[in-house]
Structure 1
């Protein structure tokens, strides 16, 4: 292979963690699978009290919460844990804290699966969550997961060359699957030709099929949508299966051509077929997201959906256009080429039976395996001037988002994208 600048760029992009796909999946799972109108955002810099979202969460609990801290006798470590748990005890009297020194009780620590000093185990209604990264965000996330009792599932459609949730190729979604499981979601890969959709499917993910659907599969998906099922569709119009039946049902048009964006030159990208998204609307599931993102070979979308509330959540820059001609030499807008900004992602919502909210997200990314976050000049900044980047947890948690960092080093999780799907906790 000839290693020219364009080739090197693509190789770098291939090896970037799938930040935007994490955003799409985790953020969309949180939004698509929402069973009640409650959103958590633990990014406020409050030392001695909980955020209103954590307080609201505690008010939904109807049983005691037991916290076991496996920590050495180090006063600083135990003091930090006590201060954190005390915030919860002020709002809920039956939150209890017990310390266990793993050095003095090694068998108990081993039986509990403790590997790190300072690990918390949270118990609620016979279920447990274990945390090695401890702050208000992670504790409240764990309590939220423990409070969900009904099993629901995120189902990835397979059998047509889709991106695999457990695959190892660079275009697969194994990292996303691992993060979803770590967040407490139940995941299933399903071939609809041989297996029906589970009745408790909270979200169906269609990730770029390469082969045509069988008529029976199209009917299964159609019936699922008619019943109010939630959907994340990562459309791949360059494949042999653009799914016209699904596009028609949703009122979504995947426009021909590829998005060209001259803004790439400003961020050091030589390939003009990489679309840039620099701003996001204050709507779910992208509200608060501030990282510039790149979409190689993206497709522009349009919609004519009646009965849906449709929001454009991914929009390219004004320096972009939809190129329908041959890509060669110096590419410039031609006659008939649609000028930007262009929509490459929609969020759709409607009310169905029994006042249930149905949610669908469609992303016209022709090369989802290379979708990435761009480190532009310096670390991107959030609305408060703080850096935006990957999840601060050292355990390779790569959820992208916006978070403040307290002076004591306590990082705030991007919990807007961290998952409030009605799923059971790990047992």
Structure 2
């Protein structure tokens, strides 16, 4: 086709418009990428993004967070720290980072009390916490929870009657749960009610964790007076015996049905039938959006009555064993359901109670099981999460009720010792004679290069 000036001009205009549109498209894509950020974590354990619990904590934090990083000018180390903090910045953009080299500003590092290379100083609402390497999401989120907590009152626990101890190390104790509470910013206190005038009113709550011997009348009276004064209570029951606290049960309108929950579906998880798994949770701030599986070994059935006289509003929290029952007879050997004596599931094992008291509310939670928070079982399923949510609600920190972040698991590759799997691993991963013959590192790129040159050469000769 012959070209003339008019045709050349048309081609020039077409090409010019194409170039302008192409540049406009590039500019628009650059603008969109700057204004909007979309990321997808495809790792098996989602280690590049925050868990739901951490995101929820960040959403509750109103105001900027200042993070000062005391680290040398090692660019690789700084990048590692920045990548860790960036995961939080994506959910809370007003997290600001300041880099300080301790070698250049030793006075600043000394005044901040820096003891380790890479130490973080986190400031929020005029409160400060330190975080030292190695950095773990759970530690960082716990730090943010402590900074967010406005209520620093103590979690008090009754002791001296064989209770499950919040600082104990035995299997039946609650020491690990107590340690997690301290990580969340709570303090633990152990008032001696045999000599104290009463239960301190400046505490967040009183925990009664399954006494094994009777509480004295003097102590029971002081606990009753504490409740009369608007105190909050967490009561864990291991059986229908209240051990000297019957007056407290009556005061709360508590109904404890004799017997133990049997859940035959626990066999699916290789567990004993006396371990009951939660089937559903009640409508309550403690269990809102709570979908984790919890388990309650040797659980008891309980309920409570809210009346005009006591003023309690009662909510069922946890129902277990939908296909099980409450065994009211002796449990020795194989058990079976007796429709004349036993109660068919689901069985309620926890209640939350609330009422108005003066200008503030009063809250009580009673659980027909102490085992679920014991050192043996607190790490199973969502037991710890449920326990933390209960304590947060009792302390009045409803905005901190959330699913707690979980430590991320590392995934290791196991290389077979023989067969084709072993050969494939040698080709892909293992260096031979000091030189890596990795398939993805050298062989595959080299094969693509040879194929590309070959195709180019054939087209050139055609």
Query: Is structure 2 residue 343 aligned with structure 1 residue 338?
Result: yes
Out of 369, 377, 396, the position equivalent to 1:372 is 377
Are the structure 2 counterparts of residues 229 and 296 from structure 1 closer, same or farther at C-alpha, using a change threshold of 3 Å?
same
CA distance in 2 between partners of 1:79 and 1:415 (Å): 30
Q: Do the aligned residues in 2 keep the contact of 1:151 with 1:422 (CA within 8 Å)?
A: no
Tell me if the contact between 2:240 and 2:258 (Cα under 8 Å) persists in the aligned partners.
Answer: no
Query: Which has the higher mean CA deviation after the structures are superposed, 286-295 or 257-266?
Result: 286-295
Partner of 2:435: none
Contact kept, 8 Å, 1:164 with 1:174, in 2: the verdict is: yes
TM-score by length of 2: 0.62
Structure 1 residue ranges without an equivalent (≥5): 1-41, 376-388, 391-397, 402-413
The aligned runs of 1:295-374 (5 Å cut-off) are 295-306=296-307, 307-334=311-338, 335-354=340-359, 356-365=360-369, 367-368=371-372, 369=374, 372=377
- CA–CA distance in 1 between the matches of 2:210 and 2:172? 11
**CA deviation after TM superposition for structure 1 residue 155, in Å:** 0.3
Kindly indicate whether the alpha-carbon contact (under 8 Å) linking 2:67 and 2:123 is maintained by their aligned counterparts in 1: yes
- State the alpha-carbon separation in 1 of the partners of residues 165 and 274 from structure 2: 25
Contact 2:152 2:186 in 1 (8 A): no
**Greater relative CO (CA pairs within 8 A, separation 6+):** 1
Q: 1:44 to 1:362 in 2, by over 3 A?
A: closer
Instruction: Name the larger-Rg structure.
Output: 2
| Aligned partner of residue 182 in structure 2, secondary structure | helix
CA displacement at 1:141 relative to structure 2: 5.6
How far apart, CA to CA, are the structure 2 residues paired with 1:264 and 1:55?
37
Alignment of 1:124-139 (within 5 A): 124=124, 127-132=127-132
User: Contact (CA 8 Å) 2:205, 2:233: kept in 1 or not?
Assistant: yes
The one of 75, 79, 94 aligned to 1:76:
79
After superposition, the CA RMSD in angstroms is: 3.9
Aligned partner of 1:212 in structure 2 is 214
Q: Provide the secondary structure at the position in 2 that maps to 1:129.
A: strand
Which residue number corresponds to residue 185 of structure 1? 186
Partner SS for 1:67: strand
Distance 2:266 2:82 in 1: 49
SS of structure 1 residue aligned to 2:351: strand
- Give 1:274's aligned residue: 275
Q: Give the conservation status (yes or no) of the 8 Å contact 2:59–2:92.
A: no
1:197 to 2:199 alignment? yes
**CA displacement at 1:85 relative to structure 2:** 7.3
Contact 2:172 2:376 in 1 (8 A): no
Q: Match for residue 121 of structure 1?
A: 121
TM-score (norm 1): 0.66
Distance 1:293 1:236, change over 3 A: same
Alpha-carbon contact 2:71-2:119 (below 8 Å) kept: yes
Q: Distance in 2 between matches of 1:340 and 1:85?
A: 43
Partner Cα distance (2:294, 2:210) in 1: 20
Aligned length: 337
Structure 2 SS opposite 1:318:
coil
Query: How far 1:278 sits from its partner (Å)?
Result: 3.1
Q: CA offset at residue 208 of structure 1?
A: 0.5
Q: Which has the higher helix share?
A: 2
3-state DSSP of counterpart to 1:190: coil
What SS does the aligned partner of 1:58 have?
Answer: coil
SS, match of residue 199 in structure 1 = coil
